Structure 1
Amino acid sequence: MKTKKLAEMSMLAAVALIIFIVESRIPTLAPIPGMKLGLANIITVYAVYRFKPSEAAMILAVRLILGSVFAGNLSTLMYSTAGAVCCLAGMIIMRKIIPEKNLYLASAAGAVFHNTGQILAACLIMRSSAVFFYYPFLIVSGIIAGLFTGFCAMFVLKRLSRS
């Protein structure tokens, strides 16, 4: 890997980490616990469309691990990892189907995959399927948040591709 690419990936991981930490400090305004925009995913969506899948995964892994060190705990890491792995896999598949000009759709799909991963992790950890009653609310909020982060990622991709 070239030094320039490594530096760019490191900067993106750092920006995603900062966004994650700042967002984790903001109280949730939604009436449903755990519902948030997931602004750090702007960087993930950008990375999926800008880099190889393995490179996007490295950026995400750095953010997950350091995010749990600085702003979370072990349970946060378990839920975040389950959601992130599903999200990343889904968006990598969507990248093959959805062109860059419509990446907001891949972002929305990624949010649904993320919520699915987190619900499945919750079922395994809590040993109860009762958390699936929460799923429809997460899907709706995830689609809205995914569209928002997708539009932000489109803006970032356009701005950074010009430089």
Structure 2
Amino acid sequence: MKRSKELAVCGMLTALAIILSIVERMFPLDAIIPIPGVKLGLANVVTLFALTRLGLRDSLAVVVVRVTLASLLMGSVTAFLFSLFGGLLALFVMWALLHAEGKFCSLLGVSVAGAAAHNIGQIAAAVLWMKTTAVLAYLPYLLLMSVPLGLVTGLVCAVVLTHMKKIDLHA
């Protein structure tokens, strides 16, 4: 019975991440941030939440299913590849930091590192797909934006986690 509940939670988190991705596309940051393609990364709030509440296996399932379904709904093969590389690298970096010996990184630090890893993963996918290293010139700009945008997603996740503690999920 416990696994059924975990699967249901994974499904709800996946649906939430897809909805956040769709909402995020409706409000591009291009008008505020003059760097093409920069996104807030709201789906990473769900990934970070899943890592803190469900663990790596279920979080991996949420990321892979979210990327696959979001790409089918509103993307392309390249969008799938870029999102998958970015999402998986972000997931594993955040998991490693959350489980590091000594816990030297706060939730906000984990989120910023996840945002940076996501950008690195996407640039790696672009290098492979386009067969050129010229896209690496874009990476410093993306990494610079990882700090404020990672802080925002980390803060949102921290607020959600704080409020979740108030809810009795075992009722």
The two structures have a TM-score, normalised by structure 2, of 0.89
8 Å Cα contact 1:112-1:139 kept in structure 2: yes
Structure 2 gap ranges (5+): none
Name the counterpart of 1:2. 3
Give the aligned partner of residue 52 of structure 1.
Answer: 55
State the 1:27 CA deviation. 2.9
Match for residue 103 of structure 1?
Answer: 107
Larger relative contact order (CA 8 Å, sep ≥ 6) = 1
Structure 1 CA distance for aligned equivalents of residues 165 and 77 of structure 2: 37
Aligned-pair CA distance for 1:85: 1.1
Give CA-to-partner distance per residue, 1:42-77, whole Å, 9 cap, x none: 111111111120111111111111100111111100
The one-letter code matched in structure 1 to 2:64 is A
Cα separation, 2, equivalents of 1:161 and 1:112: 28
Alignment pair present for 1:35 and 2:38: yes
Residues 64-94 of structure 1 deviation map (CA, whole Å, 9 limit, x = unaligned)? 1110011111110000001111101101101
Is the CA contact (8 Å cut-off) linking 2:63 and 2:88 kept in structure 1?
no
* Alignment match of 2:74 (pick from 71, 74, 78): 71
Which amino acid in structure 2 is aligned with residue 16 of structure 1? A
Partner residue in 2 for 1:132: 136
Stretch deviating more after TM superposition (23-32 or 152-161): 23-32
Q: Whole-Å Cα distance in 2 between the matches of residues 55 and 113 of structure 1?
A: 20
1:76-91 equivalent positions in 2, closer than 5 A = 76-91=79-94
Q: CA deviation at 1:21?
A: 1.1
Mean CA deviation greater in 36-45 or 1-10: 1-10
Moved over 6 A (4+): none
Give the AA of the match of 1:106: V
SS at match of 2:42: coil
Match of 1:123 in 2: 127
CA distance in 1, matches of 2:129, 2:36: 17
Counterpart secondary structure, 2:112:
helix
* Structure with more of its chain in helix, by fraction: 1
Equivalent pair of 1:21/1:70 in contact (CA under 8 Å) = no
Q: Distance in 2 between matches of 1:45 and 1:93?
A: 12
Identity fraction in percent? 36
Q: How many residues align?
A: 163
What's the CA shift for 1:117?
A: 0.7
Unpaired runs of at least 5, structure 1: none
Q: Indicate the RMSD between aligned Cα atoms, in angstroms.
A: 1.7
